[in-house]
Each structure stands twice: as C-alpha cells, then as structure tokens.
Amino acid sequence: MNERLDEIRRRAAKRKRTRQTQLTKHKQVSSYVMRDEEKYGNSYTSFEGGTDGNKEHPLFNRELFLFKILASAILVLVIGIMFQNQSAALEKPKQFVVDTMDKSFQFTAFTSWYEEQFGKPLALLPSTPKEKEVDQVKVEYAIPASGKVFESFQSNGQGVMVETLAGSKVEAMKNGTVTFVGIKQETGKTVIIQHADDTYSWYGQLGEVDVKFMDFIKTGTAIGRTTTLEDGSKGMFYFAIQKGNEFIDPMQVISFE
C-alpha cells in the first residue's frame, strides 16, 4: 500500500513540476513580447466580433461608408443634370466627363464585343424606339444624308459642310455610343458618337436632335435633322471623323453625292 501511495505522490509531483516549467516559459515569452513592444512602440490587438450587433470591425467606418454612398449619388445626379442642360458654358465640364469615361472604360468597344459574342447589345440603358435594325454585314458605313459638299475638309481642316434637302434626316454612319449631345461654338447643335475602333463621328449644325447622351446607336439610325435655311429651300449639316486627336477627310470614307 505504501509503495502505491509513494508512486501516486511521485507522479503528482512530476505533473506539478511540468506545469511550473510550462508556466515559467510562458511568462518568459510574454516578457519578450512586452519588451519588443516597448522597444518599437508597437501594440498588437485583435478583434473578435460579437453576435449582439454592438461591435464593429475597427477597419470599417459606418459613417464614412454612408457618406461615400451619398457623395456618389450626388455626383451622379449632378452629372445627369449637367448633361441635360444645353448651355454652352457646360461644354468643357461635359467633355472632361466624357474623356474620363472613355479613358477609364472603352464602352463602345466592349458593347461591340458583347454583340458579336451574344448577338445583341448589352442592355444597360433602355433602347430608344427610334432605332432601326440594319444589317451590319451589308452596310459598313451609312451616308449621314445625301447631298452636295459645299465646304471641303481642306477648307476648315476638320470636317465638311453638306447641303441637303430641307429637314433631311441625319443618320449615324455606323454603330456607336453617343458621347456628346449639346451646343458647340463652331458647329452649333452637335452629336458626337464613339465607335468601337476608337474613332468619333461628329454631326453638327443640326436643326433637331433625337438622341441622348450614352444612347447606343445602330448604323443608319436617325440622330436628328439638318438645319433649314431661312428661305426654307435647302438644309445643311456639318460632318467630321476624328481619330485620336486628329481629324481625317470624311470623303475618304463616305461619298455624299
């Protein structure tokens, strides 16, 4: 019996020594960490979220998050109002927004790719009922409006002035996205369409405009009507093609007569 009690006591003493040894090592490690924190001025904290809904992660700021959402909504609203206003004073801000969107995301190129892959444009915006379907294979470029060029590209270095019948429709030369609708000092009521090949077609001196900013336009879709001369006998409009920061002669692409 005595031998059995002695064995139990020895085992208990061994377990006690083991626990003391582990406790001593733990204290030494803790001491090293504390000294490092004091040396480098760092503190290490952890976050354990609760289920009561009262604790928030320290990296998440609810007020800042809500402020960003509100600011974004206000920015979108202001830009929308700006593009609905036809004032010439807003032309530069509008162009800045368009250029920024174009550099950030080539919307027309993506739309063209989407149409080739899935058969129809990506419907992020409601389509206009004035669009008409045109076979893109058969019609690569549409004539904006038949007429006679009375001011050539060589005369102004940017586009051509075309004389047409009074009130003639002006149509998009090919698929694209409307990136500008408004008044320009030199071309009056103007529509600019961005195409998938990163070119832009300009339609100026319009009497009426039938499209809106960011509309996706199919080849041959009427975007407006020509300006009618005071005597009502003829119409006229301006047309240009832009590639990068330069303009090319539209007569190299389209024959109006």
Q: What's the burial of 172, exposed, middle or buried (CB within 10 Å: 0-12/13-18/19+)?
A: buried
Say which DSSP state 223 is in. E
Q: What is the pLDDT of residues 78-114, one digit of tens each?
A: 877 877 776 767 777 777 776 666 554 555 566 666 6
Sign of CA dihedral 86, 87, 91, 97: negative
Mean pLDDT in residue range 245-250: 91
Query: The domain spanning residue 122 has which CATH number?
Result: 2.70.70.10
Listed residues 13, 31, 48: the one ending a domain: 48
| 72 part of a folded domain | no
Using alpha carbons only, what angle is made at residue 208 by residues 257 and 141, rounded to the nearest 5 degrees?
40
Give dist(CA 6, CA 176) in Å, integer.
Answer: 95
Whether the model clears a pTM of 0.75, i.e. scores above it, the answer is: no
| 69 part of a folded domain | no
**What's the domain count of the chain?**
2
| 98 part of a folded domain | no
Give dist(CA 141, CA 181) in Å, integer.
Answer: 21
Q: Is the pLDDT of residue 185 over 70?
A: yes
Identity of residue 45: T
Q: What is the pLDDT of residues 51-76, one digit of tens each?
A: 455 556 565 677 888 888 888 888 88
Domain that holds residue 135: 111-252
Residue of 236 and 123 predicted with greater confidence? 236
| 15 part of a folded domain | yes
Claim to verify: residue 15 and residue 117 sit in the same structural domain: no
Mean pLDDT in residue range 13-19: 71
List of E strands, the chain = 148-151, 159-165, 169-171, 176-184, 188-194, 199-204, 206-209, 216-217, 222-228, 234-243, 246-248
pLDDT for the residue 205: 94
Contact 239, 250 (CB under 8 A): yes
pLDDT for the residue 139: 40
pLDDT for the residue 138: 37
Q: With left for phi above 0 and alpha for psi between -120 and 50, is residue 3 left, alpha or beta?
A: alpha
